[in-house]
Amino acid sequence: MTSQPKYSLLEIERRWLAEERLLPDLASLPVRIITDKYLDSGRLRLRKIEGADAVQFKLCKKYGKCSEFSEPITNLYLTPEEYELLSVLPGRMLVRQRFTYLFQNVPFSINVIVGNAAPVIVEREFASEAEAGMCDPPPFCTEEVSGRAEYEAIMLAENV
C-alpha cells in the first residue's frame, strides 16, 4: 500500500450487487437521499445528504483504491452557501436513495439510484480490512463488486 495522504482517513468498504426481487420492503427502512456531483478534472465529489431531520453538505476528495477494499478519502463539511457556490462547477450527477438495513445486527446500505437503470448496490464500511474479509453479506446480495471500477458511483453518474 502506498502512503496515506495527510489528513485523509482510510475508507474500508465492500460492495455487492443485489437481487432486487429478494430485497426487503424498502418503504419500512430508514432512508436518506444522497445527491453527488463528481466534479470534472479530478476526484472531487460534492455531496448533499438529506435525512429525516437534517441536511449535510460535504466536499470529498477520493485518492484512488490502494487495495480491493480500501481508499484514502478526505471530507470537508460545508455550509449551505458554500455548497451552492461550488454546485455550479461542471460535473456528473448521481442521486440515490440510501436505505439502512440491519443484517445480523450490523448496518448495511442499500443504494437505489434515482433516474436510471443502474443496479442496486449494497455496501458496508469496516474498521479494518481483516473485519471486511470476514463479512457475510445479506442473502439478497449476489456478486461482489468491491474492486470493480465500473460499479463505483463516479462511473454510474450522468453528465450534466
Answer yes or no: are the C-beta atoms of 10 and 70 closer than 8 Å: yes
Residue in the block written with cell 443485489:
18
The residue-averaged pLDDT of 19-25 equals 96
Q: For residue range 99-115, what is the model confidence (pLDDT) as tens digits?
A: 999 999 999 999 999 98
Domain ranges of the chain: 9-159
Q: For residue range 115-124, what is the model confidence (pLDDT) as tens digits?
A: 877 899 999 9
Mean pLDDT of the chain: 93
The predicted structure's pLDDT at residue 1: 46
Report pTM.
Answer: 0.92
Q: Which fold has domain 9-159?
A: Hypothetical Protein Pfu-838710-001 (2.40.320)
Please give the C-alpha separations between residue 7 and each of 56, 79, 145, in angstroms, as whole numbers.
20, 20, 28
The predicted structure's pLDDT at residue 145: 96
Q: Give the β-pairing of 9-18 and 31-39.
A: unpaired
